[in-house]
Amino acid sequence: MQLARSPQVVDAGRSRRIGMSWFRNVGGFVSWAVLAGSVACGGSSTSTTAPSATVYTEVFSGTLIQGGTDFGPADSPHHFTAHQPGNVDATLTDIQPLSTITLGLGLGVWDATALTCNLQVTSPVAKLNLTLAANTGSAGELCVGVYDVGNISSDTITYTVRVNHT
């Protein structure tokens, strides 16, 4: 077995040169590391963000009688076009004369041939400013309906419902 001598023990002058050479090499490496790090931190990002979908708002008003369901008048039904797949939500924004009444609220598919609304998502516990949320997998004709869940007495209820969709 042969032992290697430490450069400091063999020749002090040579040791200084080896030591300085080592510092120059480490210093060069550190300089490159700092430069690379500053370029990486200061560069611009190339990732892209998908554009957000346009949200459309529809507002419908109507009247509701005891035991009834309302999809709007025949000449102006509560139907709308979802332009792309995405979220759809409906909110009762006004109920008169009794704003605390619980009604039914539903979202569905509009049948343009039969001129009817086929409710797909419903809530029998809709109240003022509570939102019914759904999701559509494709663009198409949709609709909203409001119905009595047994709480309307002899008074006629008027309502306004706001629908947000993509």
Domain extent, residue 19, equals 8-42
- Predicted local confidence at residue 15, as pLDDT: 44
Please tell me whether residues 90 and 161 are part of one structural domain: yes
Residue with tokens 């997998």: 137
pLDDT mean over 38-64: 74
Is pLDDT above 80 for 39?
no
Please tell me whether residues 33 and 64 are part of one structural domain: no
Please tell me whether residues 143 and 61 are part of one structural domain: yes
Please tell me whether residues 65 and 145 are part of one structural domain: yes
Residue 2: inside a domain, yes or no?
A: no
What CATH number did the domain enclosing 138 receive?
A: 2.60.120.380
Please tell me whether residues 146 and 67 are part of one structural domain: yes
Query: Number of folded domains in the chain?
Result: 2
Residue 72: inside a domain, yes or no?
A: yes
**Better pLDDT: 160 or 49:** 160
Please tell me whether residues 151 and 89 are part of one structural domain: yes
CB contact set of 146 (below 8 Å; sequence gap of 6+): 62, 64, 69, 70, 92, 103, 104, 105, 106, 126, 159, 161
**Average pLDDT over the chain, rounded to whole?**
80
- Predicted local confidence at residue 14, as pLDDT: 45
Is pLDDT above 90 for 82?
yes
Per residue in 6-28, pLDDT tens?
Answer: 333 334 444 444 444 444 444 44
Could you tell me which of 119, 129, 132 has the C-alpha nearest to residue 70? 119
Q: What percent of the chain has pLDDT over 70?
A: 70
Per residue in 119-144, pLDDT tens?
Answer: 999 999 999 999 999 999 999 999 99
Structure tokens at 113: 């041939």
